[in-house]
Amino acid sequence: MSFMGKTFQKNIKALSKKDSFLYETLFHNANGYIGVRGTLEEGVPADYNTMRGTYINGFYDIVDMKQAENLCNFIEKKETMLNIADTQTVYLSVNGESFNMAQGTIVKCKRTLDMDRGFTKRDVVWKSPKGDKVEISIKRMTSFEELSLFTIEYKVTALSGNVSLMFSSKHIPEVSNYSDPTDPRLAAESPKFISVVDDGISDGISYALCETSRSKLKCCSVVGHEITDKKARFCTAKDEDGAMTCDVMSDLKKGESVTLIKYSIFTDSLRCDEPLTAAKEKMKKVLGNGLDYYYKKQAEYLENFWGGSMLEIHNDPKMNEAVNFNMYELLCSSAKDSFGNIAAKGLSGEGYEGHYFWDSEMFVIPYFVLTDPYLAKMLISYRYRTLDKARENAKLLGHKRGALFPWRTITGVECSGYFPSGTAQYHIVGDIAYAIVNYYLTTGDLDFIKECGAEILIETARLWLDVGNYVNDTFRINDVSGPDEYTCMVNNNYYTNRVAKYNLIWAVKFFEKLEELNMAKELSSKLKFSKNELDEMKEAAEMMYFPKFGKDGVIPQDDSFFDKPVWNLKATPKDKFPLLLNYHPLHLYRYQVCKQADTVMAFFLFPDAVEKNTQKKSFEYYEKITTHDSSLSKCAFSIVASKLGMQDKAYKYFGNSAEFDIRDLHDNTSYGIHTANMGGSFMAVVYGFAGLSINEKGISIAPFVPDKWSGYSFKIRFMGSRIRIDVTKEEVSVVLEEGEAFAMKIYGKKTKITKKKTVVKV
Q: Check if the beta carbon of residue 397 is closer than 8 Å to that of residue 463.
A: no
Q: Check if the beta carbon of residue 125 is closer than 8 Å to that of residue 107.
A: yes
Q: Which residues contact 300 (CB under 8 A, 6 or more apart)?
A: none
> Positive or negative CA dihedral for 310, 332, 100, 670?
positive
Q: Can you say how many angstroms the Cα of residue 363 is from the centroid of all Cα atoms in its chain?
A: 9
| Helix or strand (DSSP H, E) at 440 | helix 427-443
SS3 342: coil
Please state, in angstroms and rounded to a whole number, the distance separating the CA atoms of residues 721 and 48. 50
Quick one: which of 146, 265, 273 has its CA closest to 206?
Answer: 265
Q: What single letter denotes the amino acid at residue 26?
A: L
Active-site residue, from 485, 533, 536, 659: 485
- Residue 581 exposure: Cα atoms within 13 Å on the Cβ side: 13
Strands of 162-256, DSSP E: 163-171, 194-202, 205-212, 218-227, 233-238, 244-252
Active site annotation includes 485: yes
Q: Check if the beta carbon of residue 158 is closer than 8 Å to that of residue 134.
A: yes
Helix, strand, coil percentages, rounded to 5, for the chain: 35, 25, 40
Q: Which residues, in sequence order, are bridge partners of residue 566?
A: 592
Please count the helices (runs of H) and the strands (runs of E) in the chain. Answer: 20, 30
* φ and ψ of 431, to 5 deg: -65, -45
Burial class of residue 34 in the structure, from the number of CB atoms within 10 Å of its CB (0-12 exposed, 13-18 middle, 19+ buried): buried
Could you list the active site residues? 485
